[in-house]
Structure 1
Amino acid sequence: MVTWLGIIAVGMALRQADRWWFSPRRGGPVPTTLRDIRTLQRERANDLTPALLLAGHWTEMAGWCLVAAHGGPLGWTAAAMAGAVKLRHLQEVSHFAVHGVLTRSGRAGNALCEAAVHVPLGFVPVPVRRRRHVREHHPNATVPGTDPNLRELHDAGLRTGVSGSRFLRALFFPLTPTGFAVTVRGIADNIARGKGCWWRMVGFGAVPAAIMAFGGWHAVLFGYAIPRLLLYPQLAWMSLLVEHRWWDAEPVSGLPAVVEAARCLRLYPDNAVWALLARGTWLPYGDLYHYAHSAHPAVRWNYLPVLERHILGIPAYTSNALVLSGDAVVRHHFRALSTQDEASRVARPVRQIERGGPDELTAYVGDGPFDARASA
């Protein structure tokens, strides 16, 4: 057990280098303007600490696989849950590589993203993911017929007029037989893309092969397969659900911050305990601050809390509960679907976004968490 915990601790330590280096509290006063945030981020950009960050996550993953191999039923459960969280973290780190703010060099960011996340986890090639989110999702978030993420939700059963039972089933779509089949089929399609499909196939197969070699089948099943095929997709699906007011967003125009305030939501603004838990598990690396990220997507996750606190504030719709309260996000979505008709949704005008001055970050890029299809 000491060995397993030691490996996990080493992985956690490796991750702290990037966190410390980019900390807004290191080396001076916390920046309180967008220009200062951008300057500080640019000055600290490098290619080493992001590599250590990704290496740390994979080192932790190896430790949890050993827990699955030798920890019995309790170890299987812990490893499966921790493995799913690690995959969510890897997904979100690579998401910022897609934005071009993970590393100093865009080429290095792409290479790290492919080698440490996209290939081993069976995601689409980085250029495909970037195209989907630069051109298709972020400028068109919540727009019916245009936003690919909204299309995923629709295909999973979250449609206007949905019944309570179908809505509940759609909330757990990745865990259903249909959702599992979509995940597996999506991975197969992602690996088969492009001329380099053979090395993507080898890279994807190398992970379970290596885990089998040093941990056996328990490690592969509980430390990797169940997290990758079931638990991680469910965590990512939950993340997608709390990003936007998918079915009742206001059709406003204006600067990005104004537009995003009308179509984003903020979970746990007044509940520090649940916010901390979410940030450490299913909403990592700025995912909890999706409004700040959507308004200024070229800001690294380290500075999103500062951006929200000192510059943007929070969007119009907030909730301190995911399920169990009257204003919970899930209940809000169900009410929105229950009180609208399909014709009014489709007829909603597409937003027109005005470009701002030099302090406005106007390049729209982003992430769709359900990787099997949108390859988040």
Structure 2
Amino acid sequence: MGALSVGLAAIAVGIALRQVDRWWFSPARGRHTPDSLRAVMTLQRERLNDVTPVFLLLGQWLQLAGWCAVAVHGGPWGCTAAALAGAVTFRHLQETSHFAVHGVLARSGRLNTLLAEAAVHIPLGFVPVSVRRRRHVREHHPNATLAGVDPNLAELHAAGLRPGATTARYLLGTVHPLTPAGAYGTLRGLAALRREPGSGKPRAVGPLVVTTAFAVFFGWEAAVFAFVLPRLLLYPQLAWMSLLVEHRWFDPERAAGPPVTVEAGRCLRLYPRNALLALLARGTWLPYGDLYHFAHSAHPAVRWNYLPALERSLHGPAYRPHALLLGDSAVLRRHRRALASASGARADPTAPAQL
């Protein structure tokens, strides 16, 4: 069997390993009707374990190893495919660790942290899980879309997505990680890992170790196209696209009440009727429940396997765009109109805001 065939076989085995966790947590397995939050949480508590998440993460890395072989032995098309697959793999790993941060990847709290650190944060050069938990769980979730409080909104503002932005500045902001400023920010973030207390130096060399290992065991093509290029440019752009479609960042409806009511006014639901685009998004840039961000925002302790079922029992959100870019209701067009409206309102405080 040739090296390319071995790589493709590794990808297939990696996909199969990931299905172990999917099958174990599947709401379709067994006689269950997860049609309410209580039913979902009962089923989730029964099935949380410390074994299947290991298979899930092993499968992701085995797939990436397979794509390394494709990059080395597949020619230019193999390098291209490996770069895209690497970016998608890193998005999957990011979202997997996201649920570890929420404490629902595995049953053990310590294992959640260990898996997230060992399989995602250290090799990819992310901040410590404790820092991620503070920023995401404590600062972002209760304060989503609130200027001056939400760290995610601050990232968007720093990229130029703020009232008063010109059309050109707005367009650049939507692809910020691919711009020189965005790429520099990614590199600066990796370099800043050295200053993290406790594990700064080992954490900073994590991506260097992975890059070296890929180059030694597979070849320079694997290091460049399956790791460096996706990690520095392609994956950050996919993560940025995900951030853009999580909330109505610039025109949320403020509402008081239970979490479902609050989140219905500041979340959105992309591709509500286009099953093909929804399936593509779930497999690539909005994996592991990221397409169901409203349900996740309303109930952050629910594992991704049960978010589709939970979403069906919730009311909202009102904004359910059919596209990211094209069409009057597209997310990026609405964001642009909202920023223009906010800019006009600042210029003329007596004028009513328009969408």
TM-score by length of 1: 0.90
- Where in structure 2 are the equivalents of 1:77-156 lying within 5 Å? 77-156=80-159
- Where in structure 2 are the equivalents of 1:296-375 lying within 5 Å? 296-309=299-312, 311-341=313-343
- Give yes or no for contact 2:193–2:201 (8 Å, CA) kept in 1: no
> Are 2:226 and 1:223 equivalent residues in the alignment?
yes
The answer for the alignment partner of 2:202 in structure 1 is 199
Between the aligned residues of both structures, percent identity stands at 63
> Are 2:28 and 1:16 equivalent residues in the alignment?
no
SS for the counterpart of 1:41 is: helix
In structure 2, what residue type is equivalent to 1:36?
A: A
> Are 2:39 and 1:43 equivalent residues in the alignment?
no
Which of 279, 284, 287 matches 1:276? 279
SS for the counterpart of 1:160 is: coil
The answer for the alignment partner of 1:246 in structure 2 is 249
Q: Mean alpha-carbon deviation: is it higher for 15-24 or for 30-39? A: 30-39
In structure 1, what residue type is equivalent to 2:264?
A: A
The answer for the alignment partner of 2:62 in structure 1 is 59
In structure 2, what residue type is equivalent to 1:156?
A: A
- Give yes or no for contact 1:122–1:191 (8 Å, CA) kept in 2: no
Distance 1:316 1:69, change over 3 A: same
Distance 1:342 1:61 in 2: 48
Distance 1:202 1:292 in 2: 36
- Give yes or no for contact 1:161–1:341 (8 Å, CA) kept in 2: yes
Deviation at 1:269, TM superposition (A): 0.3
- Give yes or no for contact 2:193–2:204 (8 Å, CA) kept in 1: no
- Give yes or no for contact 1:92–1:285 (8 Å, CA) kept in 2: yes
- Give yes or no for contact 1:34–1:307 (8 Å, CA) kept in 2: yes
Q: Which runs of 4+ in 1 moved over 4 A?
A: 342-345
The answer for the alignment partner of 1:365 in structure 2 is none
- Give yes or no for contact 2:90–2:231 (8 Å, CA) kept in 1: yes
- Give yes or no for contact 1:124–1:191 (8 Å, CA) kept in 2: no
CA RMSD of aligned residues (A): 1.5
TM-score by length of 2: 0.95
Deviation at 1:9, TM superposition (A): 0.5
Distance 1:121 1:27 in 2: 37
SS for the counterpart of 2:162 is: coil
In structure 2, what residue type is equivalent to 1:329?
A: V
SS for the counterpart of 2:126 is: coil
Distance 1:55 1:343 in 2: 51
In structure 1, what residue type is equivalent to 2:38?
A: R
Deviation at 1:342, TM superposition (A): 8.8
SS for the counterpart of 1:250 is: coil
- Give yes or no for contact 2:190–2:204 (8 Å, CA) kept in 1: no
SS for the counterpart of 1:30 is: coil
SS for the counterpart of 2:342 is: coil
Distance 2:205 2:234 in 1: 24
Gaps of 5+ in 1: 348-376
Distance 2:167 2:204 in 1: 40
Distance 1:178 1:202, change over 3 A: closer
- Give yes or no for contact 2:14–2:62 (8 Å, CA) kept in 1: yes
Q: Mean alpha-carbon deviation: is it higher for 192-201 or for 26-35? A: 192-201
- Give yes or no for contact 1:268–1:321 (8 Å, CA) kept in 2: yes
The answer for the alignment partner of 1:72 in structure 2 is 75
Distance 1:106 1:344 in 2: 46
SS for the counterpart of 2:320 is: strand
- Give yes or no for contact 1:266–1:319 (8 Å, CA) kept in 2: yes
In structure 2, what residue type is equivalent to 1:297?
A: P
Deviation at 1:191, TM superposition (A): 4.2
- Superposed CA deviations along residues 55-103 of structure 1, whole A, max 9, x for unmatched, are 1000000111111111111011100001000000000000000000000
> Are 2:265 and 1:262 equivalent residues in the alignment?
yes
Where relative contact order (Cα < 8 A, 6+ residues apart) is larger, the structure is: 1
Distance 2:194 2:285 in 1: 25
